[in-house]
Amino acid sequence: MNLLREKLAKYDIPQKAKAAGIYPYFREIESDQDTEVVIDGKKVLMFGSNAYLGLTNHPKVKEASIDAIRKYGTGCAGSRFLNGTLDIHVKLEKRLAEFVGKDDAITFSTGFQVNSGVIACITGREDYIIWDELNHASIIEGIRLSFSNKLKYRHNDMESLEKQLQKCDPDKVKLIVADGVFSMEGDTANLPEIVRLAKKYSASVMIDEAHGIGVFGKQGRGTCHHFGVADDVDLIMGTFSKSFASLGGFIASDTDTINYLRHHARTYMFSASCTPASIAAANAALDIMLDEPERYEHLWTLTNYALDGFRQMGCEIGNTSTPIIPLFIRDNDLTFLIVKELFDAGIFVNPVLSPAVASQDTLIRFSLMATHQKEQLDYALEAIRKVFKMHHLI
The set of catalytic residues is 183, 211, 242
Angle 347-348-350 from CA coordinates, rounded to 5°: 135
Crossing angle between the packed helical segments 59-72 and 276-291, to the nearest 10 degrees: 150
Give dist(CA 44, CA 342) in Å, integer: 10
Question: For strand 249-253 and strand 104-108, is the pairing parallel, antiparallel, or unpaired?
Answer: antiparallel
Residue 162: CB partners within 8 Å, gap ≥ 6?
A: 197, 201
Give dist(CA 355, CA 369) in Å, integer: 26
Give dist(CA 273, CA 292) in Å, integer: 29
Q: Tell the burial category of 332 from Cβ atoms under 10 Å away from its Cβ (0-12, 13-18, 19+).
A: middle
CA distances from 318 to 221, 315, 325 (A): 25, 9, 8
DSSP codes joined into one string, 308-333: HHHHHHT---TT--SSEEEEE---HH
Length of the chain (residues): 394
CA distances from 362 to 217, 339, 354 (A): 30, 12, 7
Is the Cβ–Cβ distance between 239 and 210 less than 8 Å? yes
Residue 43 phi, psi (nearest 5): -80, 130
Give dist(CA 26, CA 14) in Å, integer: 11
Give dist(CA 85, CA 73) in Å, integer: 13
**Runs of H (alpha helix) within 38-136:** 59-72, 87-100, 111-122
Q: Which residue type, as a one-letter code, is found at position 100?
A: V
